[in-house]
Amino acid sequence: MSHRENRVYSDQEAVANAFASFMKEVVNSSDHSVSIALSGGSTPKVLFGLLANNYKDDMDWVKIQFFWGDERCVPTSHEESNYRMTREYLLDHIFVPQRNIHRIHGEENPDNEALRYGRHIQTTVANRDGYPQFDLIILGMGDDGHTASIFPDQMELLSSDDVCRVATHPESGQKRITLTGKVINNAKNVAFLVTGENKKDMVKMILGNHPEASGYPASHIRPVGNLFWYLDESAAGDFRP
Ligand code: 6PG
């Protein structure tokens, strides 16, 4: 049975704390390895710092297979690389075998890399109904309603049959590689980490089930497994679970 829950905390740090303890439960209670797709963005940055500081010896790190839900098409040395951010804030500070780290090669040709990463995921992550099934996918949401790198002007990435696709940031034109909606919605657990006042109108529209919400990618994330929204009070605005 899938479970839906919206959780509101005082601030970004409290969101990161609460999610870290949920993640620990998912990882430490599993009797097999756990596939997790990470996200870029500001809240994950805080989360990764907190995990590195407070969960170094407290999480079964070697059990985790690390993937990414999306990546910017830049080299790993670039300040916008999601992999670089994760390495700096988390991976450099914990013990994880290199073979557990499955990064998106942002430095490669985007079309080729979307295919390669999609195939890699198909062969390494457990399968349900022909699609990979991650144990946990961490997502953010932009104030334009995008999630992972599925933007409102590329809604077709939600229903694509591919595992990964190339996306284009609507303003900067930056190429990105993203998991598609079908893969995200096949996960056992999906957790949105959403903080900041600029998100409150979108949160209200999506979690309040307004009809216009259907124009925004984040509203289409309704996985077969559990769905959690971790919000801080600023992002929740006057929305209360
Ligand atoms: C990325 C993301 C993206 C992000 C949102 C929210 O790599 O940029 O995966 O989907 O999560 O843009 O970002 P903030 O948490 O920084 O607002």
**% of residues, the chain, pLDDT over 90:** 98
For 62-88, write each residue's pLDDT tens digit.
999 999 999 999 999 999 999 999 999
The CA 130 to ligand 1 mean position distance, Å, reads 28
For 128-171, write each residue's pLDDT tens digit. Answer: 999 999 999 999 999 999 999 999 999 999 999 999 999 999 99
The answer, yes or no, to whether residue 240 has pLDDT greater than 90, is: no
Cα separation, 134 vs 128, in Å, equals 10
From residue 32, how far is each of 41, 43, 50, 63, 123 by CA, in Å? 28, 28, 24, 7, 17
**All residues at 6 or more sequence positions from 163 whose CB lies less than 8 Å from its CB, including other chains:** 117, 118, 119, 121, 122, 131, 132, 179, 180, 183
Cα–Cα distances (Å) from 75 to 126, 138, 176, in that order, read 29, 22, 12
Q: What is the mean pLDDT of residues 89-110?
A: 98
Q: Is 125 helix (H, G, I), strand (E, B) or coil?
A: coil
What is the pLDDT confidence band of residue 110, given thresholds at 50, 70 and 90? very high
Average confidence (pLDDT) over 58-62: 96
Which residues make beta-bridge pairs with 176?
A: 72, 167
- Which atom, in ligand 1's list, is nearest to the CA of 39? 9
Ligand 1 neighbour 81 (Cβ under 6 A): no
Q: Yes or no: say if 181 and 158 are a contact pair by the CB < 8 Å rule.
A: yes
CB 197 within 8 A of CB 232: no
What pLDDT score was predicted for residue 125? 98
In angstroms, the CA 232 to CA 49 distance is 18
Mean pLDDT for the chain? Answer: 97
Would you call 195 helix, strand, or coil by DSSP? coil
Contact (CB, 8 A) for 49 and 88? no
Closest CA to 68 of 91, 101, 112, 109: 101
For 109-128, what is the mean pLDDT? 98
Ligand 1 centroid – CA 31 distance (Å): 31
Average the pLDDT over 206-230 and give the result.
Answer: 97
Question: Does residue 42's CB lie within 6 angstroms of at least one atom of ligand 1?
Answer: yes
> How many Å apart are CA 238 and CA 162, to the nearest integer?
38
- The CATH T-level fold of domain 3-29+56-179+187-236 is Rossmann fold (3.40.50)
- The answer on pLDDT for 241 being more than 90 is no
Q: What is the pTM of this model?
A: 0.98
